[in-house]
Structure 1
Amino acid sequence: MDKLNLDQHISRQFNRELEDVRNRVLAMGGLVENQIAGAIRSLIESDASVAQAVIDGDGQVNAMEKEIDEECNLILARRQPAASDLRLVIVILKTITDLERMGDEAERIARLASRLAEGDQPAHRYRELGRLGGYVQSMLRDALDGFARLSPKVAVDLARADETVDAEYEVIMRQNITYMMEDPRNVRRTLDMSFVARSLERIGDHAKNIGEYIIYLVEGKDLRHAPVEEMEREIGGGGKESESP
């Protein structure tokens, strides 16, 4: 397959349309970033007002997904893109689906945080969940940066980061089982904590997906579900480490 080239169109208007829809994706990503950050803050600070703001903001994320979807459909109908242009539209449609699902997970965390804020706060103040939240926020930032720079190497970093997220998630779940066994009064709260952890783990999965889409967009290679080592071979090197002097 040919590699991506966004500047070789006879129609300047087509160039502008493609650039506009890419910028809309990044704007949607920024909104989802804020949603996730707010959801995590509402949990750590037991702030129901912040949680409600996240819940209210989910409608804006959904609206942006619909607007971008409609714009992509218009491009498909009017321009009938081929090759790398078609891949760009396909990747955008897939990316906004993942971003919308991240927004849903942020809303779910906010609702759980609002309920948890009504009870007594644990001594650890959800420290482990906060750390897991930091990991997935970093993954989303890296995914959006990779999309903006059209850098397929970010997929390697995201795949490795997702392994860390999965390991942290498993630790949290084992801890939660221990909490419930030690004191049955903790069951309701601990279940809610487990649901939060699961939502965070899913956000990491969606961020990893975006990295895989970037490889497809730039290189024309479908490496979904591929091991990290295969990604490195196919895109000619690793992520951050390989880019350093």
Structure 2
Amino acid sequence: MTDKHLSSQFDTALNLLSTQLFEMGGLVESQISSVLSLLSSFDETVVFYVRDSEKRLNQMEVAIDDEVNNIIARRQPTARDLRLLMATSKCVTNLERAGDEAWKIAKRLQRIEEAGVTTAMQVAELRSSGEMALTILHRALDAFARMDVLAAAQIMRDDLAIDNEFRLFVQRLVADMNAAPGTISPCLDYLFVAKAIERIGDHATNIAEFVIYIVKGRDVRHLPLDRLEEEILRS
């Protein structure tokens, strides 16, 4: 078998893996979009959809990781190809965990609905944060598809806005609970929802970091933004 044929087979395997990764990403985005709709109008069928999708994500994670391991064992890739495979596996893990967070949100909102306790808290802020998290996850997947390190770096900057929203939301929740102790239980549920949204943003940021790792060959996790920009500009 010629080297050219082997290379063609390897490219085909990578393309199939990429298709599976983005299919999984699309399912996670659908999950998050669906669960955010519960903040406007509760619908139990949405809860069931998110639950079933979470099970599907678990299956996809295992299948993609198995394929990554098989490709590494068969092809023994090096350099950027190996980084791509390793990063794909880590991206899959982050997508599965983002799906877990969507399922946590659905369960909390179902609990609030069943309790029937109302609060004066405005959920519009939660919905806004959730939409921000969904947007940066979509952009992170797009950056991964295009291997765009500049877009990846911008995502990491934008995630700071979600973190700030979370801190402000916690402060308002504490004020609400102090003003109306009877609403402590639903307020705590909303706190868990806000934290889950923040974690979705974190998983999107992780995917963006893997883009830089693949292209630049450098692990930029935990680097401050100014150091991150230096790494991107470095040849």
Using structure 1 for the length normalisation, give the TM-score: 0.89
Amino acid at match of 2:168: V
Contact 1:95 / 1:210 at 8 angstroms: preserved in 2? yes
Q: What does residue 107 of structure 2 align with?
A: 111
Q: What does residue 65 of structure 1 align with?
A: 61
39-48 or 83-92: which moved more? 39-48
Amino acid at match of 1:42: L
Deviation at 1:73, TM superposition (A): 0.9
Q: Which runs of 4+ in 1 moved over 3 A?
A: 120-125
Q: What does residue 184 of structure 2 align with?
A: 187
Contact 2:177 / 2:187 at 8 angstroms: preserved in 1? yes
Amino acid at match of 1:38: S
Q: What does residue 17 of structure 1 align with?
A: 13
Do residues 134 (structure 1) and 131 (structure 2) align? yes
143-152 or 110-119: which moved more? 110-119
Deviation per CA, 1:143-176: give whole Å up to 9, x if none: 0000111111122211111110110000100111
Do residues 166 (structure 1) and 163 (structure 2) align? yes
Distance 1:83 1:56 in 2: 38
Distance 1:135 1:156 in 2: 16
Distance 1:167 1:14 in 2: 43
Q: What does residue 39 of structure 1 align with?
A: 35
Distance 2:188 2:145 in 1: 38
Amino acid at match of 1:180: M
Structure with more helix by fraction: 2
Deviation at 1:43, TM superposition (A): 2.7
Contact 2:21 / 2:88 at 8 angstroms: preserved in 1? yes
Q: What does residue 224 of structure 1 align with?
A: 221
Contact 1:25 / 1:96 at 8 angstroms: preserved in 2? yes
1:105/1:90 CA distance change after superposition, 3 Å: same
Query: Aligned residues: percent identity?
Result: 41
1:76/1:176 CA distance change after superposition, 3 Å: same
Point out where structure 2 has 5 or more consecutive residues left out of the alignment: none
Point out where structure 1 has 5 or more consecutive residues left out of the alignment: 1-7, 238-245
Deviation at 1:111, TM superposition (A): 0.6
Contact 1:150 / 1:218 at 8 angstroms: preserved in 2? yes
The within-5 A match list for 1:141-160 is 141-160=138-157
Distance 1:191 1:198 in 2: 11
Do residues 199 (structure 1) and 224 (structure 2) align? no
SS at match of 1:221: coil
Amino acid at match of 2:42: S
Distance 2:153 2:80 in 1: 22
Do residues 80 (structure 1) and 76 (structure 2) align? yes
Deviation at 1:124, TM superposition (A): 5.0
Q: What does residue 52 of structure 2 align with?
A: 56
134-143 or 124-133: which moved more? 124-133
Deviation at 1:123, TM superposition (A): 5.0
Contact 1:102 / 1:206 at 8 angstroms: preserved in 2? yes
225-234 or 16-25: which moved more? 225-234
Using structure 2 for the length normalisation, give the TM-score: 0.93
Aligned residues: 230
